[in-house]
C-alpha cells in the first residue's frame, strides 16, 4: 500500500510539473511579442547557399544606419526589403506583382517616368539592364562594404556567409 501512495505522489508531481509547463507555454504563446525595430536575422535563399544575415549585429554591433544598406527609402519611414526593387529575376510574376510591395505610388517614380495605370507596352518599361538583380545587388552592396570595413572578402570567403 505504501508503494501505491508513493507512485500516486510521483505521478501527481509529474502531472503538476507538466500542467505548469503547459500553462507557461500557453501564456508565452498568448502574450504578443514587441515588434523589433531591427529584425535579429534575415534568411536569404539563393543558389550559392542560404545566407543567414545578422541584421541586428550589423545595425547595433557594427553601428551601421539603415540608410547604409537600404539606400533608397523612397521618402517613407519604413525601409523596403531588397527584393522589392531587386528581384531574383525580372519574370512575369515580378512584372505583375511588384507594385503591391511598395507603400505608395511615389515609389513608382524610382524606375518609371510616370505612375503606371495599366500594363506597359514593351517600349515603356524601365531599362532593366540598369537595375541589378538581387544576387548582383547583394554582392555589390555586401562585398563592397566588407572590403571597406574589414569583413569577410575575397574568393576564399564565400562560405563565411553562404551555407554549404
In terms of Cβ atoms closer than 10 Å to its own Cβ (0-12, 13-18, 19+), residue 75 is exposed
Q: Is 98 annotated as a binding residue?
A: no
Q: Is 162 annotated as a binding residue?
A: no
In DSSP terms, 52 is beta-bridged to 43
Dist CA 143 CA 161 (whole Å) = 11
What is the torsion angle, in degrees rounded to the nearest 10, for the CA atoms of residue 152, residue 153, residue 156 and residue 159?
50
Q: Is 55 annotated as a binding residue?
A: yes
Q: Is 111 annotated as a binding residue?
A: yes
Whether residue 85 contacts residue 101, with contact meaning beta carbons closer than 8 Å, is answered with no
Residue 52, classed as helix, strand or coil, is strand
Whether residue 115 contacts residue 160, with contact meaning beta carbons closer than 8 Å, is answered with no
Q: Is 145 annotated as a binding residue?
A: no
Q: Is 139 annotated as a binding residue?
A: no
Whether residue 39 contacts residue 55, with contact meaning beta carbons closer than 8 Å, is answered with yes
Dist CA 119 CA 117 (whole Å) = 7
Q: Is 71 annotated as a binding residue?
A: yes
- Positions at the binding site: 55, 58, 66, 69-71, 82, 85-86, 108, 111-112
List the binding residues for heme c: 55, 58, 66, 69-71, 82, 85-86, 108, 111-112
Amino acid at each position: 500500500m505504501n508503494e501505491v501512495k508513493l507512485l500516486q505522489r510521483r505521478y501527481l508531481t509529474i502531472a503538476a510539473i507538466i500542467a505548469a509547463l503547459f500553462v507557461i507555454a500557453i501564456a508565452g504563446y498568448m502574450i504578443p511579442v514587441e515588434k523589433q525595430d531591427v529584425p535579429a536575422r534575415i534568411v536569404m535563399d539563393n543558389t550559392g547557399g542560404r545566407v543567414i544575415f545578422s541584421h541586428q549585429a550589423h545595425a547595433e554591433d557594427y553601428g551601421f544606419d539603415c540608410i547604409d544598406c537600404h539606400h533608397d527609402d523612397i521618402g517613407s519611414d519604413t525601409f523596403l526589403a531588397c527584393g522589392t526593387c531587386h528581384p531574383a529575376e525580372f519574370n512575369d510574376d515580378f512584372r505583375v506583382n511588384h507594385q503591391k510591395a511598395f507603400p505608395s505610388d511615389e515609389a513608382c517614380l524610382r524606375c518609371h517616368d510616370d505612375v503606371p495605370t495599366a500594363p506597359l507596352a514593351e517600349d515603356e518599361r524601365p531599362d532593366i539592364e540598369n537595375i541589378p538583380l538581387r544576387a548582383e545587388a547583394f554582392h555589390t552592396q555586401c562585398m563592397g562594404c566588407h572590403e571597406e570595413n574589414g569583413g569577410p572578402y575575397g574568393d576564399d570567403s564565400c562560405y563565411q556567409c553562404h551555407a554549404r
